[in-house]
Homo-oligomer: A and B are copies of this chain.
Amino acid sequence: MYNNITIKTLAKELNVSIATVSKALKDRHDIGVATKQRVVELAHKLNYIPNPYAGGLRKRKSKTIALVLPEVADSFFSLAINGIEATAQEKEYHVLIYLTHESFTKEQAILKDFQSGRVDGVLMSITSETSTHNHIQELYDSGMPIVFFDRVCESIDTAKITTDDFEGGYKATQHLIDCGCKKIALLSISTSLSISNKRMEGYKKALDDNHIKFSPSDIVQCSNDAEKSYNSIKKLLSHRSRPDGIIATVEKFTTNTYLACKELGLFIPGDVKVISFSNLPTAPILNPSLTTITQPAFEMGKAASTVLFKALNKSSFNLKQESIVIPSVLTVRGSTATQTK
């Protein structure tokens, strides 16, 4: 469907040139007040809505940004979208959404398309598979403003909005240790994601600070596939020297961890304590309620988009120095209680 009433219609109707109409609509000072009035009135009466693409073509901008996410069925991303959409609406930008479903090739294809002028900027969280960044660098080099949030790409010198992942990993680990855990496993989603690695570094540091020996086998790489990750977790917990503490670095591992424990007859927090990086609204009503490290998702989305829009409005704005690190917060609940209730 395409709008049929254009600037031309108005011009004809009013016996003025299309240039006059265009300027009048933009309320430019070099147009007579009377004419302006007439134009605006007719435009309103005829319900004229300008075609954004025509103007965009001329002005060489689309007033739309791309939002590239691994998935949307994750509380963090859901909340982040809210923050992003809110500021976009405020700034009168439109947002195209793309899901990579953690597929690197999809991410490549999506980014490639952006060289077309479809969007003025991109907001993204990379795939857990993404380990090479040429496709992103290429886009960035072509002049596209890019802002990363949460799952950032370290090697690209642009704005990154993250949480204090190292500290988060540290805090989570220290908390488990404080609760008496001796053997803590970390469920990781990727070896290439900086977010994963930083959390792991925090974990290692906490272990070290507490004179607990780090064992590589305590890091378990879980798959994006729900069933596979369930099996990995179950295997981990079936082992004779199973961990007594688990850190899920990704929200989606939570349900599987709980289910695996149930299946194996392991009690949380009695047999194994669990802490999860998550924004689950149901955290307080889980069985047992879940201790979480939560990220200010909405604010992060808001911050990321705000930075991007700033860059879009000022020419030659330096994205490189706009990175922000926002603290995450530890909320202690039942899954790490020191006594079974």
Contact = CB atoms under 8 A, between A and B. Distances in A.
Given A281-B255, A282-B255, A2 B73 contact: no
B1 A144 contact: yes
A49 B82 contact: no
Interface residues of A, number: 64
B72 A82 contact: yes
Interface in A1-49: 1-3, 47, 49
B280 A118 contact: no
A302 to B, nearest CB: 13
B280 A49 contact: no
Contacts of A121: 1
Given A64-B96, A96-B64, A117 B81 contact: no
Interface string A56-94: 110011101001000111110011011001100100001
Nearest to A280: B282
A276 to B, nearest CB: 11
B117 A53 contact: yes
A96 B99 contact: no
A96 B96 contact: yes
A145 interface: yes
B287 A258 contact: no
A320 to B, nearest CB: 16
Contact of A57 (B54, B120, B145): B54
A74 B78 CA distance: 8
User: Copy number of this protein in the oligomer?
Assistant: 2
Nearest to A282: B282
A288 to B, nearest CB: 7
Contacts of A62: 53
A74 B74 CA distance: 10
Interface string A233-252: 00000000000000000001
Instruction: Determine which residue in A53, A54, A57, A143 has the highest number of CB atoms from chain B within 10 A of its CB, and name it.
Output: A53
Contact of A142 (B1, B96, B144, B287): B1
Contacts of A288: 287
Nearest to A92: B113
20 contacts: A1-B117, A1-B142, A1-B144, A2-B60, A47-B115, A51-B117, A53-B117, A64-B96, A71-B82, A72-B85, A73-B78, A81-B99, A86-B99, A96-B97, A255-B282, A259-B284, A280-B282, A282-B286, A286-B287, A287-B288
Given A53-B117, A72-B82, 14 more contacts: A3-B116, A3-B117, A49-B112, A49-B116, A53-B57, A64-B96, A81-B97, A85-B98, A96-B97, A254-B285, A282-B282, A282-B286, A285-B286, A285-B287
